[in-house]
Amino acid sequence: LADSANARGLRAAWHNHDFEFDPINPDEPNGPKAYEVLLSELPASLMDFEMDLHWVAFAGENPVDWFKAHPGRFPLWHVKDFAADTATQVPVGQGVIPWEEIFAESETAGMKYYFIEQDVCSGTAAMECLRQSIDWAKEQDFMD
């Protein structure tokens, strides 16, 4: 896939969810995680990683640890947040994700672009949720 994309002047990127952070073998809880295998088997010359920060945090992982372990591999970020109950997505800045800590490592990660999003927003409030996220982000010096 990555070879084919690159041959056409495109770049392939892997977008994660939470399940990539489960052990590959459930009988080995400390065994390798799918995300570790993907990062080690897909060379940086062929594949980027589009880190969905919400799903990393939802899986109980710290995105900063991944940035430091694999510097420069995460040029694309999905920025979305969740409430303390970890089941409810909320506008960015209204949840529990430590955005300033994460954005402080944007250079380590190799971040070029980030995308503000929210998978679930109650009823017909999608545009209002997006507005709240963007307004909050505009107020954060660390998100410039």
Q: Per-residue pLDDT tens for 2-16?
A: 778 878 888 889 999
Sequence-distant (6+) residues with CB within 8 A of 46 are 2, 3, 6, 12
Q: For residues 108 and 4, which has the higher predicted lDDT (pLDDT)?
A: 108
Could you give the CA distance from residue 19 to residue 23 in angstroms, rounded to a whole number?
Answer: 9
Q: For residues 93 and 122, which has the higher predicted lDDT (pLDDT)?
A: 93
**pTM confidence score:** 0.91
Enter the tokens of residue 106: 């944007």
pLDDT at residue 113 tops 80: yes
pLDDT at 123: 65
> Would you place residue 120 in the very low, low, confident or very high pLDDT band (cuts 50, 70, 90)?
confident
Position of tokens 């459930």?
26
